[in-house]
Structure 1
Amino acid sequence: MAITRDTSQRRLQIRELVHQQGSVQVAALAHRFGVSLQTVRKDLRYLAACGIMTRAYGGAIDNNAIGGTLSEPAYESKRVIHLEDKRRIGKRAAQLVESGNTIVIDSGTTGIQLAEALPNIDITVVTNDFGVLSALAPKPNIHIIVLGGELRRKNMAFYGGLTVDALDAIQVDKLFLGVDGFDLERGITTHYEPEAVLNRKMVEAARKVIAITDSSKFGKVCLHRIVPITSLNTLISDAETPDDVRQASRHLGFELLLA
């Protein structure tokens, strides 16, 4: 009976975690509850059969997240959460930029940290993000190209047909792609459809695609898919990157850099 009670309590806690976080990972749950990976997988199968979540590679996702109802955090809160991780990731990403490069910095708070970390050297930066523009403006050696369009105040970035069309004549060395959701099975996703459209255009224009994200985004899925994980050349994240993502970097062939 004790085992039954423990199982029931553990499954209740897993249910609460997936609702709070939007997703859970098998390895993290096994460590948290001190049980085997097989036990956690059995728990997730049971909860999925109850309609509480959907199984995904390496874990499970809240059904609300798959439906696109995982809410987008407010811009002000995104600027400060996981800030130290984002700063380290931005500095690591800046080390990949060489004099003479043309790069795209996607919208997002990690992209702003990359812009802050860039040295004042002869490069061209293309962006649709107001915060990235503000960070680069005091650096006179950096040539800035702003993708205009309609300002979305929810994340202070420009979107729309004008923004997408501006990329038609541009070829860039590197794209630094921000992430709302990163799931090994469902790919890189975002809350906002025009952002997904724009990001796919950015991927087409870039010789190298580099995702920059803190580990809180792993296992999360938003409504609008940008690209599959196999489209990445490089992923830059923090030391909390889970084992399944580390293993996928070897199996899927993208470079993993930890900040």
Structure 2
Amino acid sequence: MAEGSLKVTRDTSERRREITSLLKSRGSVQVLALSEMFSVSMQTIRKDLHYLEEHGIATRAYGGAISSEVVNTNAEPPIEAKRVSHTEEKERIGQLAASMVKPGQSIMLDSGTTALQIARFLPDEEDITVVTNDFDVLSVLAQKRNIKIVMLGGELRRKNMAFYGAQTVAALDELLLDKLFLGVDGFDVERGITTHHEAEAQLNRKMVETAREVIAVTDASKFGKVCLHRIIDISEIDALITDAAAPSFIDEAAERLGIKLYKA
């Protein structure tokens, strides 16, 4: 191999090692910034990111890549696994969230096992209205005699037993609700609230537009995790309900952004 080819190979290997280091320390990288940092074309950087993705180091995202240590788009756990994960914390969070719902209010419950706990603990009042797209939440609420239930239609996604699609989003056009209890797959101070499923992210963004107050509900295991599909920045929520194991940086972020923080 000619000396020039050896230099190019060495430079490429060194650049990819440095990009890997940046991914591990920052969690994500952007093509434009890397192009300027290493004084190479954006096409070259895209080839680097493609190489790192093939080797399981990165996951490509719009305009850049996310570290595979903080995102795994194929790792959404099945609903059966979610139901038995952090159950005590979810029960406490659900009970606290349900206590915030007052007579005369309309609320929206996002899909997920934490929303299911909120549904369990909701007071059975005639003048409480609950909107949901989650089949299991519907099943729990149907056992209560007085709560008014509005079910969002669409296509059933069996992996988490919830409805999604254009029909689901359109159903929210005429609604204005008091509270949205938003479950999350990932909650990162810098990269926001994220989920594994694109259609869920689209629906969640519409839910946020529809609610006067947005309350994120999550156990501490979701903090620092980033999934592929972004819902909103954490600055767009009004309150966060979590458990006592939440790390100190969550307290700091909540205080800095004016987010009400509750620990169950």
Q: How would you bin the TM-score normalised by the shorter chain?
A: 0.7 to 0.9
1:99 has 2:70 as partner: no
In structure 2, what is the equivalent of residue 141 of structure 1?
A: 146
Higher RCO, Cα 8 Å, sep 6+: 1
Give yes or no for contact 2:27–2:70 (8 Å, CA) kept in 1: no
Q: What do residues 150-205 of structure 1 show as CA deviations (whole Å, max 9, x unaligned)?
A: 00000000000000000000000000000000000000000000000000000000
Give yes or no for contact 2:216–2:240 (8 Å, CA) kept in 1: yes
Please give the residue correspondences for 1:187-202 in structure 2 after superposition, counting only pairs within 5 Å. 187-202=192-207
In structure 1, what is the equivalent of residue 32 of structure 2?
A: none
**In 2, Cα distance between equivalents of 1:47 and 1:177:** 37
Q: What do residues 118-175 of structure 1 show as CA deviations (whole Å, max 9, x unaligned)?
A: 0101200000001110110011210000000000000000000000000000000000
Alpha-carbon spacing, 1:161–1:89, altered in 2? closer, same or farther (3 Å): same
In structure 1, what is the equivalent of residue 51 of structure 2?
A: none
Please give the residue correspondences for 1:1-259 in structure 2 after superposition, counting only pairs within 5 Å. 50=21, 53-55=24-26, 63-64=67-68, 68-69=72-73, 71-121=75-125, 122-259=127-264
**In 1, Cα distance between equivalents of 2:19 and 2:211:** 39
3-state SS in 2 of match to 1:53: helix
Deviation, structure 1 residue 50: 3.4
**In 2, Cα distance between equivalents of 1:88 and 1:67:** 27
3-state SS in 2 of match to 1:81: coil
Note the residue ranges of structure 1 that are not aligned, 5 or more in a row. 1-45
Runs of 4+ in 1 over 3 A off after TM superposition: 46-52, 65-68
- The number of residue pairs the alignment matches comes to 211
3-state SS in 1 of match to 2:26: strand
Q: Percent identity?
A: 58
Q: TM-score if structure 1 supplies the norm length?
A: 0.77
**In 1, Cα distance between equivalents of 2:116 and 2:80:** 13
Q: TM-score if structure 2 supplies the norm length?
A: 0.76
**In 2, Cα distance between equivalents of 1:199 and 1:211:** 11
